[in-house]
């Protein structure tokens, strides 16, 4: 039996899905969601991974994600958003708000389509915090989640209203990070 045939065998179902949040100032929120993604794919689930507001660098996940597995839809929102600069540039903020409206509308369709067992929305918490996506729209997503779909939000500054609705919330706490010592982001580790 070929690898492709193994992946196309009977698709398992999540009996009881949950809404999870990975938040906090520490490193590892996106990494944790990718670990869930790999676990789910290994068990035969179908996963949709939406990556927002990450730098346009040629990161490991950008290189590997789109072709990693036949049950994975990996989408990186194409945009210009410089994390340290764009948040202070009104034109960048407004442009990103406009670009995210159809992305969130599409995400709603994906979430309720029945095509995916797990939907991961990387950096949505930060988007809400910065006013790029409204809290009300995010709550609509959460409340429309089918019972058998696992929904994961990542990013700093998770809103209290979302935390109340989540079944699992993990806060990554920064105790120490070598960026404070002037170490720059490293290929394969930070991106």
What Cα–Cα distance (Å) separates residue 162 from each residue in 2, 6, 114, 142?
Answer: 42, 37, 23, 8
Cβ-based neighbours of 78, under 8 Å, separated by 6 or more: 56
Query: What is the mean predicted confidence (pLDDT) over 167-190?
Result: 82
**Amino acid 92: pLDDT:** 82
Place 132 in a pLDDT band, splitting at 50, 70 and 90: very high
- E strand or H helix that includes residue 2: none
Given a cut of 90, is residue 80 above it in pLDDT?
no
Q: How far apart are CA 182 and CA 2, in angstroms?
A: 48
**Amino acid 56: pLDDT:** 60
Give the CATH H-level superfamily of domain 14-156: P-loop containing nucleotide triphosphate hydrolases (3.40.50.300)
Q: Which residue has the higher pLDDT, 169 or 95?
A: 169
Percent over 70 (pLDDT), the chain: 86
Given a cut of 90, is residue 109 above it in pLDDT?
yes
Q: Domain segments of the chain: what residues?
A: 14-156
pTM of the model: 0.87
- Could you read off the pLDDT of 38-76 as tens digits, one per residue? 999 999 999 999 998 765 667 777 788 888 999 999 998
**Amino acid 83: pLDDT:** 61
- Lowest-confidence range among 89-103, 116-130, 173-187? 173-187
- State residue 171 phi and psi, 5-degree precision: -105, 120
Task: Please provide the DSSP assignment of 107-119 as one string.
Answer: HHHHHHSSS-SEE
**Amino acid 178: pLDDT:** 78
């Amino acid at each position: 039996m070929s690898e492709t045939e193994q992946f196309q065998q009977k698709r398992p179902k999540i009996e009881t899905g949950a809404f999870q949040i990975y938040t906090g100032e520490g490193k590892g929120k996106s990494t944790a969601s990718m670990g869930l993604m790999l676990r789910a794919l290994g068990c035969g689930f179908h996963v949709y991974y939406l990556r927002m507001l990450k730098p346009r660098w040629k990161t490991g996940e950008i290189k590997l994600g789109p072709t990693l597995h036949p049950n994975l839809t990996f989408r990186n929102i194409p945009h210009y958003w410089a994390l340290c600069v764009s948040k202070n540039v009104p034109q960048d903020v407004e442009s990103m708000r406009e670009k995210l409206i159809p992305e969130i509308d599409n995400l709603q369709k994906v979430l309720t389509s029945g095509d995916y067992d797990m939907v991961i929305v990387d950096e949505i918490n930060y988007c809400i915090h910065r006013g790029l996506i409204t809290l009300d729209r995010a709550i609509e997503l959460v409340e429309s989640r089918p019972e058998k779909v696992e929904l994961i939000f990542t990013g700093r500054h998770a809103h209290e209203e979302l935390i109340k609705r989540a079944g699992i919330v993990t806060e990554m706490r920064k105790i120490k990070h070598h960026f404070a010592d002037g170490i720059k982001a490293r290929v394969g580790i930070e991106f």
